[in-house]
Amino acid sequence: MAKRDFYEILGVSRTATEAEIKKAYRRMAMKHHPDRNPDDADAEEKFKEAKEAYEILSSAQKRAAYDQFGHAGVDQSAGGGHRGSGGFSDIFGDVFNDIFGASGGGRQNYRGADLRYHLDLSLEDAVAGTTVNIRIPVHVECQSCNGSGAKKGTQPTTCTTCAGHGQVRMQQGFFSVQQPCPHCRGTGQMIKEPCPDCYGEGQIQDHKTLSVKVPAGVDTGDRIRLAGEGEAGTGGAGPGDLYVEVQVKRHDVFTRDGSNLYCDVPIAFVTATLGGDLEVPTLSGKASLKIPEGTQTGQQFRLRGKGVKSVRGGAIGDLICRAIIETPVKLSKKQKELLQEFEQSMHGTSKHSPKHSSWMDAVKKFFD
């Protein structure tokens, strides 16, 4: 089967810089490394392709030969006199030291995985701040085997494949690759009789309750980091972190945009026409809102300092009230007659409804 184009494998253009090639390779290595994808033949193949592509494209001489002659320009050198070089770790050391750490022998230590928790908050709690208790699933040391993974009364034995080093070296062409032992998965030990409670993992799933202090002013999308509250590490490595992601629930009255709060205020037809005072809610209590004579739907009124103080600091926002003129419904016969009388009193003049008059003028011009 014909080999794939090296540039295509790494997902870069043929004019890519050395830094772009290195960055692309690191991304591919992180995604498809066998440690992250155990027993995944497809990922292992993609990892090998990426290694080969980077080895060629990271060398100015080999890249020039590849650009001119394709795979034929580098196949000979790939199988030729390069076996005396430092091998895989010399060629890719700078990349793999950044990603996986130094590749010495022995059991590998891996930091615990980070965890994520979705926390729903009311708008009131998000604005004022609160403390909540959350219950999360975690892996803890199995008490039956004390974390060894072996059945009680037995002990793990040294892996015969890697002699307890946790690493094996594979020769691939002119370079060699050191990777975790496939039989013991890098632990250096084999378990002949697994613990029946943890199935040889040394850990079991449990739950723990944590108290989370939510600072005032958080909003949807904010994250609270609890250091060391993630999954336990292996081989003595530290635990991961827990990230609590905030989601503010929809409020019946207010909507939030940054530091400002918005609310729609229904206003009676008479109050909007003659003006008056209304009592409106805020998160800190009630406030008086002065409605001027002739208020129209959509008109906004700003109450300074009645909004939110962001968790990132800055001034307190405002509460912006949007007027919604409410049309009377279910009128009595007498009320309808009064409105008709009122309508007749306005007939023949445009000064009472300037927007309607200007709209009618625009309509006439359109049809003319």
pLDDT (tens digit per residue) in 197-232: 888 777 788 888 999 999 999 999 999 999 988 877
pLDDT grade for 344, boundaries at 50, 70 and 90: confident
SS (HEC) of 230-245: CCCCECCCCCCCEEEE
Tell which residue, 236, 251, 247, 164, has the closest CA to residue 202: 236
Q: Give residue 236's pLDDT.
A: 59
Is 319 a residue whose pLDDT tops 90? yes
Is 346 a residue whose pLDDT tops 50? yes
Determine whether 243 is exposed, middle or buried from the number of CB atoms within 10 Å of its CB (0-12, 13-18, 19+).
middle
Spell out the CATH class of 252-331. mainly beta
Is 149 a residue whose pLDDT tops 90? no
Question: Mind listing the pLDDT tens digit for each residue in 29-88?
Answer: 888 888 778 888 888 888 888 888 898 888 888 888 788 777 777 764 444 333 333 333
End-to-end CA distance of the chain: 74
Q: Where are the domains of the chain?
A: 6-100, 115-147+205-248, 252-331
- 3-class secondary structure, 95: helix
Q: Which CATH architecture has domain 6-100?
A: Orthogonal Bundle (1.10)
pLDDT grade for 93, boundaries at 50, 70 and 90: very low
Mean of the pLDDT values across residues 241-248? 93
Q: Would you state the structure tokens that stand for residue 125, as one six-digit string?
A: 């709690």
Q: Do domains 115-147+205-248 and 252-331 have the same CATH topology?
A: yes
**Which residue did the predictor score with more confidence, 134 or 235?**
134
**What does the alpha-carbon distance between residue 334 and residue 331 come to, in Å, rounded to a whole number?**
8
Spell out the CATH class of 115-147+205-248. mainly beta
